Structure 1
Amino acid sequence: MRVDISQLFGQKGKSIPLDLCIDINDTEGYPDIVGFKEPVKIKGNLTNIDDVIVLDADAETTVDIACSRCLTPVSVKLNFKLYEMFNKTGSIDEEIEAITEDSIDLYPYVRNEIFENLPMKVICSEDCKGLCPVCGTNFNEGECSCDTTYINPKFDSLRALFNVDEEV
């Protein structure tokens, strides 16, 4: 989503209101995201402050994220701030993004903020039982007949050192 900012150049203090929606469809690198329930709604302003274009906006969306235990999709509402600074002349300040065109593509900034604001772990409920590590059955929906007394084979030689019948 490109926003034309040509009318802001050379007019300090001028502002453009933003009220738009952006569809985010790229979840590469974030396998827990199942999908977006709605476009990202953005409300705010682009303002020329001393020849620096400042994006200051609030954004919100709803994302379906896989439960960390059972992989069931869970809807999570995200609210976040967008605050970016742009300068056409280039700047040595690393917080100010250099731009070469009369428009700004908001998509990468919105996408980045979404992924920075995702919760570390999402659980569908506190009682979630998770998945069977052997067959993948969702324990919230039923049981399976797998042997869950799995012992890591790396510890077999250690177990051989101890005889179960002996007292220590």
Structure 2
Amino acid sequence: MMNINIAELQTDLGRELPFSFAVTAAELDALSDDYKFEDPIKVTGTVVYTGMRWRVSGKIEVVKTFVCNRCLTDCREEQVHEFSEDFTRDEGEDDSVNVFSGDLLDIEDMVRDTLLAAQSLSNICKPDCKGLCPKCGHNLNEGDCGCDRFVPDPRMAALQQLLKKD
């Protein structure tokens, strides 16, 4: 559990209470078939009482490993994700504020949601990844393989037939 005890902070306006956690992807329930987070996932930040709410802000540091969808290379990516959310004890607040009771702020759901929402839908090693040659399977990021990869546009087939008749 990622609980922050705010008992000593309570209503001490503007005072920052630092926190630090190291959790595994399994403990955070941040598991996927498409990628893996290396352990530990580091979460650091501060809690500040703002007068009506407690603002929790900080960052998540994680290393993501995955196989590139285009070139099938094993990849390792260091990520840092920032977060800042408000917590309140008043349940009459709007849905954008997290509600808690007692002296413990549980930030586990917020951390998991922040981490998972930040992941791209496709796992690609770099934005300009060239992928594999459809004929021989060579990784085109390592240079050209020499295969003729020209694929004629099927919409131009009728024009190609006219050119062949001449």
In the other structure, the counterpart of 2:145 is: none
Structure 2: runs of 5 or more not aligned: 143-147
Secondary structure at 1:60 match in 2: strand
In the other structure, the counterpart of 1:40 is: 41
Identity of aligned residues (%): 19
Structure number with higher helix proportion: 2
Q: Is the 8 A contact 1:8 1:47 kept in 2?
A: no
Q: Is the 8 A contact 1:74 1:124 kept in 2?
A: no
Matches within 5 A, 1:82-161: 82-100=83-101, 102-118=103-119, 122-123=124-125, 129-131=130-132, 133=134, 137=137, 139=139, 155=154, 159=157
Secondary structure at 1:90 match in 2: coil
Structure 1: runs of 5 or more not aligned: 142-146
Secondary structure at 1:80 match in 2: strand
Q: Is the 8 A contact 1:53 1:87 kept in 2?
A: yes
In the other structure, the counterpart of 1:144 is: none
Deviation at 1:83, TM superposition (A): 0.9
Two-structure CA RMSD over aligned residues (Å): 3.8
Structure 1 residues 138 and 124 mapped into 2: Cα distance closer, same or farther (>3 Å)?
farther
Structure 1 residues 21 and 138 mapped into 2: Cα distance closer, same or farther (>3 Å)?
farther
Structure 1 residues 118 and 7 mapped into 2: Cα distance closer, same or farther (>3 Å)?
same
Equivalents in 2 of 1:103, 1:123: separation in Å? 40
Question: Which letter maps to 1:159?
Answer: A
Q: Is the 8 A contact 1:20 1:41 kept in 2?
A: yes
Q: TM-score, normalised by structure 1?
A: 0.67
Deviation at 1:99, TM superposition (A): 2.4
Q: Is the 8 A contact 2:4 2:106 kept in 1?
A: no
Q: Is the 8 A contact 1:78 1:114 kept in 2?
A: no
Deviation at 1:43, TM superposition (A): 2.0
Secondary structure at 1:44 match in 2: strand
Deviation at 1:107, TM superposition (A): 2.6
Equivalents in 2 of 1:85, 1:64: separation in Å? 31
Equivalents in 2 of 1:97, 1:125: separation in Å? 36
